[in-house]
Amino acid sequence: MRRMTALLGAAALAVPALISVTAEPAQAASGSVTVTTLTRAGGKITTQLTIMNLTTGSLYNGTSGKAVALPKGRYAVSTDIWNNQDDTDTLGAQVVTVSDSNVATTIDARKGKPLTVGLSSSPGTGYSQTLQAHVCGGSNLSLQMGLAGGSNNAGHMYVIPNASKDVQFGYLSLWQKGSDTLIAKGGYTGLPSAPGGTFARGNMTTVSVQARRGPQEGRYGSLYVEPKYTTCTTGMPGQLLNDAFPYTTTLHLTAGTWTLQAEDEADASGGTEIVGDLYRTVSAAPGTAPLSQIFYRSAWGPARTLPYVFAGRLGYDTGEAFDDPSTTGFEASERSTAQLSFGSTVLARGTVTDWGGPDSTFYSGMKSTGWYTLAVTSTRYRPGVTFPTNMLSTASSVKFHFKADPRTDAAVPGFLTQFVPGGLTLNNTATPHTTTAVALWVVRPSVGPNAPTPKDTVKSVKVYASNNGGLTWAYQPVKHSGSAWSVNIANPSSGAISLRSLVTDAAGDTTETTVYRAYALG
């Protein structure tokens, strides 16, 4: 049984961690609430309380049996009553109005109803079922906060019914056997009197997941799945596994939207350290064909943002120098050297990092309208972390040559290239003396709120490959069909392949993207 007494819901919860709640200043209090909590046997028990102001969303800590000072207002008071005699969790909540005096209320586990979640047919022998459940406060789905929760084996989770619309209940059920997991979710407004349900196995969507080894810093990783857009389930990630890279697993999801989260853990001074999180959202529905997802796929390079002009200055976020092509998220572990030139005049040069600093953006003043060159070289960087031997995507570079007007706020012209080699193993390796087809994702990402991103047109794409770490480069013929670009790389007997592209637009602006050690031979 895993405790989850204090939880924070809504989109703010991005990692599967317990988050403590900070109380507001005591001097703001004008009344109090005292909560008595009873076990399933009827005896008094001391539990931790989480209290939410239903108007302001402010959270408070407390302990049952003791008065908790609060400002005037309406509150949802929640707790998880764990009975170590029978190893049960009973979740409950009361809605109270606090005025000038003390308000007393009781949360009685004897009134709890079992959370029962089943499948239309057995998944087979050897599967174990675990349940996670939350009680939330707040009537708006996007603002709901998890107040109390627990995780336990099937048959050991209960909820006390409450018809109030100011509290909600959500659950997650996992049936696991080895690398195969079936997952169901559900949510309610109010705390239900008959929580749970039966799900048709035939309506589940299968997702095959690979977590490869190569470009990430960590040697070990965890995989989580989290429901989205379901009442009181945000911030309820189910951990599916924790294992050394690479690994594979298969999921079967009930209908709805889900977020898959891969987390990697690196060797660090004094132990290990979580260094990155990658995410992918998938939609499940009856009749959906099987899906697949690859995490830590080669090659990692610049992908998600462009330089932009704003208020007469140029800005470029160097923190996107190593992006997984198949996910969102990142490892905050890079250091970049950037230089902006106007013709032959260097305007600015600097080193920035997205590790330990408030901003990984390189800024420079600009001259008049004309041709500029921004050159950025990035390497993997994280103090105290030991990178794996034979790590891939160890460095990247990008060079933008573009015409710009400092008086016009806009993303600069140009296109980035993501290199996506096909047919690689779980270790992101290709067989020596074979040919690897590399898809070229030629992208012009938005720079978001910083400036508009005008449309641009690709005129040509050239690609070069190196098998000696970038000392020499060999031109590779590019194939173009519709909006798809690709190249075939003849693999040598050993080592690693680095890749470089040069994309030219219709106006003559160019972008050179390079990834060193894009994939290995082995």
Flag the least confident range among 5-19, 75-89, 265-279.
5-19
- Residue 323 has what DSSP assignment? B
H/E element, 216 = none
What is the pLDDT confidence band of residue 140, given thresholds at 50, 70 and 90? Answer: low
- Residue 19 has what DSSP assignment? -
Average pLDDT over residues 266-277: 90
Using alpha carbons, select from 234, 63, 62 the residue that is nearest to residue 134. Answer: 234
Residue type, 349: R
What's residue 143's pLDDT?
Answer: 57
Q: What is the pTM of this model?
A: 0.89
Residue 448: strand, helix, or coil: helix
**pLDDT of 496 above 90:** yes
**pLDDT of 142 above 80:** no
CA end-to-end distance (rounded Å), the chain:
43
| pLDDT tens per residue across span 58-103 | 999 999 999 999 999 999 999 999 988 889 999 999 999 999 889 9
Q: What is the mean pLDDT of the chain?
A: 92
Instruction: Characterise 196 by phi-psi region: left (phi > 0), alpha (psi -120 to 50), beta (else).
Output: left
- Cα separation, 74 vs 410, in Å, equals 48
